[in-house]
Amino acid sequence: MRKGYQPMKISASYWMFEGGLEATLPVVGAMAQAKALGFDAIELCIGSQGVLTHETTQAECEQIVSKASELGIEISSVASGQSWGCSPTDDDPNVRAMIVDFTKRALQVTKWLGTDAYLFVPGAVDVFFLEDSPVVPYDVCYERAKEAVAQLVPTAEHLGVTVGIENVWNKFLLSPLEMRDFIDGFGSKAIGAYFDAGNVLLTGYPEHWIRILGERIVRVHVKDFKKSVGTAEGFVDMLEGDVDFKAVKAALKAVGYNGYVTAEMLPYQPGRPEKTAAAMKKIFK
């Protein structure tokens, strides 16, 4: 068993709850909801504004950790969507510097929260949900992403927090082989993969990615997706799409993954957290 992991514990994304995406839901309230639904853990989410930011203090983090202990819920990881609007691959070097600085500080907050994994979007060729998003040439995107991640390595190594590169709809790192080689290029255990089973279904098979990425996987997101839709509208409630969760679970076990599996179901809809909790227990318990 790899150090720091618990066998197949189910986790809920903070973004799944009402007020989560807006970053207005108090962290303690989100933790209490996740616990009441039977989740083992919660993934907290950090931004430049809201209830948890890169400026959150150590004392504030310690209060969150203490409350989590009282509630009997673990903090599985920390995620951020900051890179979408402040991209590590932006044409403006000042923007690139800003997200690197933000992420270094977010890694410290992650450490203070008592967890060891941080979800990072390393850039984008384009951002499908931002209408005016510029298109960055793929090779330029690759070099800028490498430069940004390389700047995070010393901080991540010092803190003992792994930067988990997520496979997202950014038209970048589209193959598990490319993702594997991108991660390996840093020569550091502080850089790993944050694998999202639902995100990959449009162009591939989750079980293939899992077996290829193997020990590089530091955390896992799950959601469901209907291939026949083929757009963002294809993301559906769990067990209502085409993700072969049996194959996903078998592949995770085959590569020795025994970390948290986090449901990232968004946006919030009434009844969705309850429905997701039931599906997660059915699949992973």
pLDDT in the model for residue 7: 57
Centroid of chain to Cα 251: 19
Pairing, β 9-13 against β 41-45: parallel
Dist CA 272 CA 238 (whole Å) = 10
Residue 1 lies in a domain: no
Q: What is the pLDDT along the chain (285 residues), one digit of tens a residue?
A: 344 434 589 999 999 999 999 999 999 999 999 999 999 999 999 999 999 999 999 999 999 999 999 999 999 999 999 999 999 999 999 999 999 999 999 999 999 999 999 999 999 999 999 888 899 999 999 999 999 999 999 999 999 999 999 999 999 999 999 999 999 999 999 999 999 999 999 999 999 999 999 999 999 999 999 999 999 999 999 999 999 999 999 999 999 999 999 999 999 999 999 999 999 999 998
CATH of the domain at 214: 3.20.20.150
Centroid of chain to Cα 123: 14
Residue 121 lies in a domain: yes
Residue 33 lies in a domain: yes
Q: Residue for token digits 């599996």?
A: 261
Residue 4 lies in a domain: no
pLDDT in the model for residue 9: 96
Q: Hey, what's the torsion of the CAs at 45, 46, 52, 57, to 10 degrees? A: 120
Q: Which residue range forms the structural domain that includes residue 234?
A: 9-284
Residue 2 lies in a domain: no
Task: Judge contact between 263 and 270, C-beta under 8 A.
Answer: no
pLDDT in the model for residue 29: 98
Model-wide pTM > 0.75: yes
Total domains in the fold of the chain? 1
pLDDT in the model for residue 132: 85
Residue 19 lies in a domain: yes
Residue 179 lies in a domain: yes
Residue 3 lies in a domain: no
- 3-state secondary structure string, the chain? CCCCCCCCEEEEEHHHCCCCCCCCCCHHHHHHHHHHCCCCEEEEECECCCCCECCCCHHHHHHHHHHHHHHCCEEEEEECCHHHHCCCCCCCHHHHHHHHHHHHHHHHHHHHCCCCEEEECCCCCCCCCCCCCCCCCHHHHHHHHHHHHHHHHHHHHHHCCEEEEECCCCCCCCCHHHHHHHHHCCCCCCEEEEEECCHHHHCCCHHHHHHHHHHHEEEEEECEECCCCCCHHHEECCCCCCCCHHHHHHHHHHCCCCCEEEECCCCCCCCHHHHHHHHHHHHHC
